[in-house]
């Protein structure tokens, strides 16, 4: 997921740019791939944090974008899931050109507010729009890795079934995790909910009741995030428990 670059400080030990070598590629959808990099000096990270990726051309021109970490800390390995943005400057290179063995520069981890810690005990509501699922998937995987029993509910809004990220993984049973798909353009045959944007009924039906005091994480395009956050507040959720992340098509 590409994030808009927002000024802030690096969380934890500050690191400069490091060479990161691509060791594995996984196709997630026709337009998205997960990239696994090896970073020998990686300090670790929390689920929900992100990194900056910098590309430099032979003539010295460089550009950078921010991408969410897709998996919990795992030694010197980090995972990024990148959605190809038509006409983009960085994502097409990462999704179509970069090959195993190639290197890019990465800096991070960045961010310390939009994170979930496995020590948390409050129910968790994850609301994702499109590639906004990426940092939330890191939280789901961190929960599984830690053996946490904290109950999770995921509402995942996506245009059509072919664009679902991590479809196979989310299809497997995970005790304590409920997954609900919301399709905005095309739904599978026989799907009970007609295609449409996220609404009050969705969060009221598939989210946690406000009296349960869940920790809510909302990530996706700006309009989606604003709508979801407003609905949660209207349903009685404590605004202090609603954490949001927005992203744009580029890092500018």
Integer Cα distance of 1 and 246 in angstroms: 10
| Residue 60 within a domain | yes
Integer Cα distance of 236 and 252 in angstroms: 35
pLDDT for res 51: 97
DSSP state of 194: P
| Residue 116 within a domain | no
Q: Do 25 and 76 reside in the same domain of the chain? A: yes
Q: Is the pLDDT of residue 26 over 60?
A: yes
Q: Do 86 and 128 reside in the same domain of the chain? A: no
Q: Is the pLDDT of residue 112 over 50?
A: yes
Q: Is the pLDDT of residue 251 over 80?
A: no
| Residue 118 within a domain | no
Q: Do 104 and 129 reside in the same domain of the chain? A: no
Cβ-contact 21, 101 below 8 angstroms: yes
Q: Do 102 and 142 reside in the same domain of the chain? A: no
Q: Is the pLDDT of residue 210 over 50?
A: yes
Scan for tokens 């580029």, then name that residue. 250
CATH of the domain at 188: 3.40.50.80
Q: Is the pLDDT of residue 5 over 50?
A: no
Q: How many domains does the chain have?
A: 2
Tell me what the mean pLDDT of segment 183-204 comes to: 96
pLDDT in tens, 116-142: 999 999 999 999 999 999 999 999 999
Q: Do 8 and 70 reside in the same domain of the chain? A: yes
Q: Do 65 and 136 reside in the same domain of the chain? A: no
**What domain range is 15 assigned to?**
2-110
Q: Is the pLDDT of residue 37 over 60?
A: yes
Q: Is the pLDDT of residue 1 over 90?
A: no
Whole-number percent of the chain with pLDDT over 70: 92
Tell me what the mean pLDDT of segment 81-109 comes to: 95
pLDDT in tens, 152-186: 999 999 999 999 999 999 999 999 999 999 999 99
DSSP state of 94: I
Which of 46, 79, 110 is the C-terminal boundary of a domain?
A: 110
| Residue 59 within a domain | yes
Q: Do 24 and 73 reside in the same domain of the chain? A: yes
Which of 110, 145, 169 is the C-terminal boundary of a domain?
A: 110
Q: Band the pLDDT of 111: cuts 50, 70, 90.
A: very high
Mean of the per-residue pLDDT values for the chain?
Answer: 92
Which of 60, 78, 110 is the C-terminal boundary of a domain?
A: 110
Q: Do 74 and 172 reside in the same domain of the chain? A: no
Tell me what the mean pLDDT of segment 50-74 comes to: 95
Tell me what the mean pLDDT of segment 69-81 comes to: 97
Integer Cα distance of 66 and 107 in angstroms: 9
pLDDT for res 247: 81
pLDDT for res 81: 98
Q: Do 130 and 95 reside in the same domain of the chain? A: no
Q: Band the pLDDT of 86: cuts 50, 70, 90.
A: confident
* Edge-to-edge strand ranges of the sheet holding 103-110: 2-3, 62-68, 50-56, 103-110, 18-29, 32-38, 77-83
Scan for tokens 């049973």, then name that residue. 173
| Residue 252 within a domain | no
Q: Do 212 and 133 reside in the same domain of the chain? A: yes
């Amino acid at each position: 997921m590409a994030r808009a670059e927002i000024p802030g400080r690096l969380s934890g030990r500050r690191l400069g740019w490091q060479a990161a070598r691509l060791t594995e590629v996984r196709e997630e959808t026709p337009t998205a791939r997960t990239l696994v990099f090896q970073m020998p000096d990686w300090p670790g990270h929390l689920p929900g944090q992100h990194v900056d990726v910098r590309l430099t051309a032979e003539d010295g021109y460089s550009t950078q974008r921010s991408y969410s970490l897709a998996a919990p800390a795992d030694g010197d390995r980090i995972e990024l899931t990148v959605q190809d943005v038509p006409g983009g400057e960085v994502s097409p290179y990462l999704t179509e050109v970069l090959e195993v063995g190639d290197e890019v520069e990465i800096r991070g981890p960045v961010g310390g507010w939009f994170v979930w810690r496995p020590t948390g005990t409050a129910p968790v509501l994850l609301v994702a729009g499109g590639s906004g699922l990426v940092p939330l998937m890191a939280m789901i995987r961190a929960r599984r890795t830690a053996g946490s029993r904290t109950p999770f509910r995921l509402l995942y809004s996506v245009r059509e079934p072919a664009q679902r990220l991590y479809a196979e993984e989310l299809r497997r049973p995970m005790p304590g995790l409920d997954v609900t798909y919301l399709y905005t353009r095309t739904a599978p045959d026989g799907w009970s909910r007609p295609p449409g944007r996220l609404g009050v009924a969705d969060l009221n039906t598939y989210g946690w009741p406000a009296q349960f005091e869940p920790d809510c994480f909302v990530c996706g395009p700006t309009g989606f995030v604003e709508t979801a956050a407003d609905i949660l507040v209207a349903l009685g959720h404590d605004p202090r428990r609603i954490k949001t992340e927005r992203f744009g098509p580029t890092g500018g």
